[in-house]
Amino acid sequence: MSAEILAAPSSGIAPVGHYAYDQVDRAFLHDRVEQFRDQVARRLSGTLSEDEFKPLRLMNGLYLQLHAYMLRVAIPYGILDSRQMRELANIARTYDRDYGHFTTRQNIQFNWIRLEDTPDILARLATVDMHAIQTSGNCIRNVTCDQFAGAAADELLDPRVHAEILRQWSTLHPEFSFLPRKFKIAISGSPNDRVAARFHDIGLVAKPGRHGTVFDVFVGGGMGRTPIVGVHLRDNLPEEDLLAYLEAMIRVYNEYGRRDNIYKARIKILVQALGAEGYREKVDAEFAAMDRARYRLPPETVAAIRARFGTPALDAPSDAAERLAGARRADAAFDRWVRTNTHSHRAAGYISAVISLKPDGGIPGDATSAQLDAIADLAERFSFGEIRISHMQNVVLGHVRQDELHALWQELGRAGLASANIGLIGDIIACPGLDYCSLANARSIPIAQKLSARFANPDLQERIGDLQIKISGCINACGHHHAGHIGILGVDKKGEEFFQLTLGGSAASDAAIGQILGPALPEDSTVDAIAHLVDAYLVHRTDGERFLDTYRRLGAALFKDAVYALA
């Protein structure tokens, strides 16, 4: 079966879960690689200055980081197939130092890339229909999506077809490639927000309407130095107006967004300045004035793109659930992993499995090329060759037969990928921080490593329950610290690392921005401080209460004492 799936586009069988390229798409990618090759040549010859080259390389995902260039490869809506994953492993082995890093925006980053190799790397990516287009730069970035899309039991609609439409529409968009600042869109099809829709420049929630798909639209959310929960702009936007309305929204931003100060250039600042009403009026005026026929998204177009998505044939044996239950009874460690690392599936006998990239004491989101290959093999064997990257920096196999879950778990254990900590305190988000990032104030990864080692005991983790720690090495907030139940922000004091704690943030449907607890702490007391917070919570929580809820019920004072009274 898997061989057929992999042979996908030419044999007419599309890869499960994502769009199948055809010759036109491939020719386009080829042209894009050659364009970049030419740009690199112009840079090396000095025709392009660094200043002029920088936005061009950024639009191909190439950053200059602390130690080397970093290449960010797009994983559109977080979905890839085994063949693509193997190529990522190849690139890690051939051009990097044998590992990659999955990001909160469902991309993968390679940290040790050479500029002169980049055109060749992009050419190799293109052989498996992948690219790094618009993974950086002041343009519309990779569109992110729910990691359980098309599988989740609570989903109203699979948003990936629309995510693909947005990917195509935003690719080399003639008007919106030089916006005031970067532009991030997320789309979900579930009422349970797993994409942080309210923390994006535009968040879309797709749902079935009376006459086809409609969208609820959020705008102007974001983190960074001005964290803001997005504004609910409108409900029930009809599918055929989706592109027209987005064009209007972004055109208003392109025209009126600030360009004098990069810290005030995101759309969230514009929406705040105009007020939600003021912004909505301008968008509506633009929407009313534009040639709507030109931008109409007809149902035939949606259908044509949908037809290029493979759908898995879900036919589990009728006793699949029973056999899973039996395996859980027989194996306590497996039972624990199932409790934490799975998500219910819409189809009987199936389940989604989350592969944690957060081993105790490890680097959140990192995977070696051997692990990438192992995941590719397991996806082929257990989940139709389809792999998803979550914004929590983990990997998801979407469609696993329940009776095969135990075998999958055993294989994961052999590859060092069976940590049972999803949603728990060990499931930490951390940005690259000062170990790699040229903008950083402080190191994020070592704090994550120390925390996950400290809370390694799985019983303790389960007892603590749902607790999200998110770490950013500077105020740009790539580690989403504002949205962490406990957020940790690196600050710089005279060249030394300090960490500021925030409590009470959430990226879910109850989106909130964490509040600063008190003065920043030196590196060596930060981990202890978190332990004190956790202790205080365990003492004061009521039955079944999450850390976040205890904090919301009791307020900051108690936690403040826990951290600062002892210091």
Partner 1 sequence: MDVRSNRREAGGSSVVTANRLLDGRIVWLAGDGAWSGRIDAAHVFSNDGIEAVIDATARRQQADGVVGVYGVQVRDDSTTPVPVTVRERIRAFGPTVHPEFATLTEVPPDVR
Partner 2 sequence: MPLLENGRIVEDFWTTIGGDELLPPTGPVIVPLDRLEDGLARPAGEKLGVALPPDAEIAVLRAALPRLALVGVTFPTFRDGRAFSQARALREHLDFAGDIRVTGRPLPDQYEFLLRCGVSTVQLPDGADPAVWARAHERFTTAYQPAVRDERAEGFGLRRFLA
The helix (run of H) or strand (run of E) holding residue 521 is: strand 521-522
Contact of residue 171 among ligand SF4, partner 2, partner 1, none (CB under 5-8 Å per partner type): partner 2
Token output for 24:
């036109």
Q: Total binding residues for partner 1 by CB under 8 A? A: 37
Cα 256 to the chain's mean position, in Å?
A: 28
Question: Which residue in the set 224, 362, 385, 426 belongs to the binding site for ligand HEM (CB under 6 A)?
Answer: 224
Q: Where are the alpha helices (DSSP H) in 405-454?
A: 405-414, 445-454
Partners of residue 429 on adjacent β-strands = 470
Nearest CB to partner 2, comparing residues 291 and 543 = 291
Count the Cβ atoms, other than its own, within 10 Å of residue 494. Answer: 5
Please say whether the dihedral angle defined by the alpha carbons of residues 394, 428, 263 and 434, taken in this order, is positive or negative.
negative
Q: Where are the alpha helices (DSSP H) in 115-257?
A: 118-127, 160-170, 242-256
Contact 247, 220 (CB under 8 A): no
Write b or e for each residue in 15-51: b if 16 or more Cβ atoms lie within 10 A of its Cβ, otherwise e. Answer: bbbbbbbeeebeebbeebbeebeebbeebeeeebeee
Residue 38 binds partner 1, judged by CB under 8 A: no
Residue 478 binds partner 1, judged by CB under 8 A: no
Contact of residue 95 among partner 2, partner 1, ligand SF4, none (CB under 5-8 Å per partner type): partner 1
Token output for 243:
């592109």
Residue 474 binds ligand SF4, judged by CB under 6 A: yes
Nearest CB to partner 2, comparing residues 42 and 336 = 42
Burial class (CB in 10 A: 0-12, 13-18, 19+), 313: exposed
Residue 447 binds ligand SF4, judged by CB under 6 A: no
Partners of residue 183 on adjacent β-strands = 140
Question: Which residue in the set 37, 93, 232, 251 belongs to the binding site for partner 2 (CB under 8 A)?
Answer: 251
Q: Total binding residues for ligand HEM by CB under 6 A? A: 22
Question: Per-residue x/- marks for partner 2, 34-63, CB under 8 A?
Answer: xx--xx--x----x----x--xx-------
Closest approach of partner 1 to the CB of residue 68, in Å: 4
Residue 18 binds ligand HEM, judged by CB under 6 A: no
Q: Total binding residues for ligand SF4 by CB under 6 A? A: 13
Closest approach of ligand HEM to the CB of residue 371, in Å: 18
Phi and psi at 178, nearest 5°, equal -130, 60
Residue 231 binds ligand HEM, judged by CB under 6 A: no
Contact 361, 456 (CB under 8 A): yes
Which residues from 426-465 bind ligand HEM, rule CB under 6 A? 431-432, 436-437, 439
Single out the residue of 356, 416, 360, 359 nearest to residue 389, CA to CA.
356
Which residues from 488-507 bind partner 1, rule CB under 8 A? 492, 495-497
Question: Which residue in the set 104, 106, 138, 421 belongs to the binding site for partner 2 (CB under 8 A)?
Answer: 138
Question: Which residue in the set 65, 342, 461, 506 belongs to the binding site for ligand HEM (CB under 6 A)?
Answer: 65
State how far the Cα of 357 lies from the Cα of 426, in Å rounded to an integer: 10
Count the Cβ atoms, other than its own, within 10 Å of residue 365. Answer: 27
Question: Per-residue x/- marks for ligand HEM, 82-121, CB under 6 A?
Answer: ---------------------xxx---x------------
Q: Total binding residues for partner 2 by CB under 8 A? A: 44
Single out the residue of 463, 545, 556, 550 nearest to residue 514, CA to CA.
556
Contact of residue 104 among ligand HEM, ligand SF4, partner 1, none (CB under 5-8 Å per partner type): ligand HEM
Nearest CB to ligand SF4, comparing residues 149 and 477 = 477
Single out the residue of 275, 473, 449 nearest to residue 362, CA to CA.
449
393-to-101, 383, 412, 471 alpha-carbon distances in Å? 8, 19, 17, 13
State how far the Cα of 512 lies from the Cα of 199, in Å rounded to an integer: 9
State how far the Cα of 519 lies from the Cα of 27, in Å rounded to an integer: 55
Residue 102 binds partner 1, judged by CB under 8 A: no
Closest approach of partner 2 to the CB of residue 299, in Å: 12
Question: Which residue in the set 65, 109, 393, 468 belongs to the binding site for partner 1 (CB under 8 A)?
Answer: 65
CA angle 26, 32, 38 (to 5 degrees): 140
Partners of residue 352 on adjacent β-strands = 343
Cα 474 to the chain's mean position, in Å?
A: 19
The helix (run of H) or strand (run of E) holding residue 238 is: strand 231-238
Residue 524 binds partner 1, judged by CB under 8 A: no
Question: Which residue in the set 2, 35, 272, 476 belongs to the binding site for ligand SF4 (CB under 6 A)?
Answer: 476
Contact of residue 472 among partner 1, ligand SF4, ligand HEM, none (CB under 5-8 Å per partner type): ligand SF4
| Residues of the shown chain interacting with partner 2 in the complex, contacts defined by CB under 8 A | 22, 24-25, 27-28, 31-32, 34-35, 38-39, 42, 47, 52, 55-56, 138, 165, 168-179, 243, 251, 254-255, 259, 289-291, 294-295, 301, 304-305, 307
| Residues of the shown chain interacting with ligand HEM in the complex, contacts defined by CB under 6 A | 63, 65, 70, 103-105, 109, 181, 184, 222-224, 266, 431-432, 436-437, 439, 476-478, 480
| Residues of the shown chain interacting with ligand SF4 in the complex, contacts defined by CB under 6 A | 431-433, 437, 439-440, 472-474, 476-479
| Residues of the shown chain interacting with partner 1 in the complex, contacts defined by CB under 8 A | 43-44, 46, 50, 64-69, 94-97, 112-117, 363, 434-436, 438-443, 445-446, 449, 492, 495-497
